[in-house]
Amino acid sequence: MSDCICFDEHPQEECGIIGIFAPHEDVARMAFFGLFALQHRGQEAAGIAVADGKTINLHKDVGLVSQVFNPQNLATMPGDYAIGHTRYSTTGSPHSRNAQPFLIETRHGPVAVAHNGNLVNAYELRQDLLRTGTGLSSTSDSEVLTMMLAGSEGATWEERLAQIMPRWVGAYSLVILVRDCVYAVRDPWGFRPLSVGLLPGGGHAVASESGALQTLGCVAIREVKPGEIVSLSNTALKVMQGMPPAKKPALCTFEHIYFSRPDSIWDGRTVHSVRQRLGRELARESAVAADVVIPTPDSGIPAAIGYAAASGIPYTDGFIKNRYIGRTFIEPTDSLRKQGIALKFNVVQENILNKRVVLIDDSIVRGNTTQALVGLLLKAGAREVHLRITCPSIRFPCYMGVDMGSYDELIAHRMSVEEITRHVGCHSLHFLSLEGMMRAIDSETGYCNACFTGDYPVQVEGRHAKTGFENGIA
């Protein structure tokens, strides 16, 4: 199956993970619906592993969750324990061999691992494994995690995890499946989200976002704390501190800005309300005379509502989004390809004709899509387009599990605000200040803002591209 076409230049989602212990339930089907709720976090591949107390069955492939799974293959996966993964690649290419979960046999029995994040020391760890003669079947840092866990010392899986976690530097939220338990692990910096909840029929579930747990009917939902190891099994929920939390937490700001579903909770804050406050901060920082405020769907909608409320400028829809065109695996014809972004967005002309428009978007990465959106509005008859972005300019790559591109690909690394304004063709442009963004999040510290500031919470010098393992680096 070929890679899906993409008409989106936003920072790409990391991955979505889910883990379930639900006695006497169809956990494979539950995992399927949990992954469906996390589909926005990755559309390249999906996989589910299920344990019945004796063995682990795995099914995974390239494609969307609905393309990889059907009633027939889910029916072949009985058991009380399950983990699942939906992937956007950050280390390793979008190839079937990099699909997760990874399942291996160990001296302690089978173990399957699904990972959201990115290890910044993956190159060194991979080299260590290869020097010991360990065979690797993929180019993903997630397999490196799996093989290191398999070789770790300890009487229990919790002990083995606690023993190996200090060697992993970077972002990792994990779900781990053995014969009779699901483990959830979060790195000590807390980069990537992970929440756990109580299932109504007994048992527990853990997922990248609280919204997926609500889909399964979970109650008493709380976030897995940085450095924690949570065990889901017949002995009820068990929590231990695998590593002390980092002195300076580094939660990903982009979960609030773009990645998470609006109904999810991140760091105790509802994402939708944070995005509305981002819009309000934008209105306070960058007032402009205009007739309408419109969002770039979908992440721009709450911020546009907030901007409109704070500015008094009416909110309306300017774009209608075809939600599936970017996820089709059928390549467009040459003539359709020239339509580019118009395949994904249609302008509601009567809402913007002869009007001064404030366009709210969450970010600008490469600038090409933004330029096309501004062009669509002007072509449809907008008199002016004033672009407002709900975060500071992205000038530095992310090494913690978000595919933002390299320095050369980041338009704000190469151009000033004035140059970007001319490049995208808008009448004015304002990026929300770092201070305004953190006011909206209602926190001065505890977040990773390295893509804006270049101040990385862990050492990242000499790191490699996501396909570096395939290009002869290791």
Q: Catalytic residues, which ones?
A: 15
CB of 347 within 8 A of CB of 319? yes
Dihedral pair phi/psi, residue 442, rounded to 5°: 70, 45
* Residue in 215, 237, 221, 258 with CA at minimum distance from that of residue 390: 258
DSSP string, 50-104: EE-SS-EEEEEEES-HHHH--HHHHHT--SSEEEEEEE--SSS-S-GGG-S-EEE
| Alpha-carbon gap, residue 105 to 433, rounded angstroms | 50
Q: Tokens 């909206």 — which residue?
A: 440
Give every CB contact of residue 71 below 8 A, 6+ residues apart in sequence: none
Give every CB contact of residue 348 below 8 A, 6+ residues apart in sequence: 316, 317, 318, 319, 320
| Alpha-carbon gap, residue 204 to 186, rounded angstroms | 17
* Residue in 388, 397, 464, 461 with CA at minimum distance from that of residue 426: 388
Q: Tokens 């160990």 — which residue?
A: 106
